[in-house]
Structure 1
């Protein structure tokens, strides 16, 4: 069976999302989650997650966050409103090499430190909210900080597995273009990455998520990663992120009776591949 990482993004963005992810980890319906460290209450969320993950071998990672309608941990990257900049602004500034490298480095390091303070250990893996970790300028800051704070961690390469693309999949292909050379760039730092990525789709469209998930799981190779965004909608989530009801849809499938059959149909075992297990923090 293929060993695949099924990773829930955005842990700690809201209590409803966090609780849903903990339930899925405890039930072994997912085997990884990525934590946002920019919100209040992180220590309590960390304690609850560690308890839910005990004995499961789940990978708990840092979800580097540089975009959103909420404040960063440091001032340098904040806009005039005190919040992170919009994704479009970060992408344009990164591609034109006009993104403030020092401000990015300071924020990334602050988020690593917040993770260490809350969990008492480095993250098992590192990725980025809205995949910002693969962008120019940000990429260098993330690789450098990971090597410094979590040298045994692995990183998410969002280069799509061809078989996991959904139709022409403009979104998946664009993400993959931004990720060009990411695994190569991680190698000199001694950092491993997953092999193949799936899970990108248009959240606003009317999809059968069970069918999509089966497609993604079948499409990634052994050592691949599929991202998901399960959760329960609550007021903090609605205030912080436009992705709301689709999280409920994903949670229903992941926690539902059909999930074991989905894994069987894809011939997938939710287990860290050896190349990632050997680097994961003890």
Structure 2
């Protein structure tokens, strides 16, 4: 996963990434991204363990807040700098009780929280639904259509580039490599230029302006 993300940053249009802090590969991933200060890296908070067991009662807002706060601190310890933004694994922050906790932590640390602040979140660059792979959605043509349909202002286009290996525990596998191939394709920058889209990271949100991002 990390190798694909870094390749999409170095050779493609990815500008931001999110880090899980309690996985076996977290320390190695943190070391890799720490060496790339131009990549905006946020916290991908997870309120469950690697096997999907809840770490806290999701109805308990104070407990959820404490856990997210712990992960923010863990992030800074691993990466050597604070996160640039905040989101969550499996979008658990969308739950009302959990969302309140995320908002509190985001506000305290001055972090953009996905779907709760700028930029607008665009989730349609995704190549699987109803148990079937849809390569056309994560193709160059598919991403070009998404970029052409972005609203004015800031947008975050979600993506999941990566290389499939034996350690990946996910049903979203082939699609990750298809995404990566699209994100590093030079045609995407050409399309973006014609649409007057500039790709920037979360760290630049307060200092720049434009459309687009990933």
With the shorter chain as reference, the TM-score category is 0.7 to 0.9
TM-score (norm 1): 0.63
2:17 match: 33
Cα distance between partner residues in 2 of 1:202 and 1:44 = 27
2:122 match: 198
Match of 1:154 among 112, 124, 134: 112
2:143 match: 213
**Cα shift at 1:260:** 2.3
Indicate yes or no: 2:90 matched with 1:109.
no
**Cα shift at 1:37:** 1.4
**Cα shift at 1:241:** 1.9
Deviations 1:121-167 (A, max 9, x none): 2101111222222320111111112233x22x22222xxxxxxxxxx
Contact 1:214–1:266 (8 Å) recurs in 2: no
2:161 match: 230
Match of 2:184 among 248, 255, 265: 255
1:277 match: 206
With over 3 angstroms needed to count, the CA separation of the structure-2 counterparts of 1:259 and 1:202, relative to structure 1, is: closer
Contact 1:199–1:213 (8 Å) recurs in 2: no
TM-score (norm 2): 0.80
1:76 match: 56
Contact 1:154–1:276 (8 Å) recurs in 2: no
Contact 1:125–1:154 (8 Å) recurs in 2: yes
**Cα shift at 1:256:** 2.6
1:136 match: 96
Cα distance between partner residues in 1 of 2:99 and 2:133 = 30
- Aligned-partner SS, 1:225: strand
How many aligned residue pairs are there? 201
Cα distance between partner residues in 2 of 1:274 and 1:60 = 9
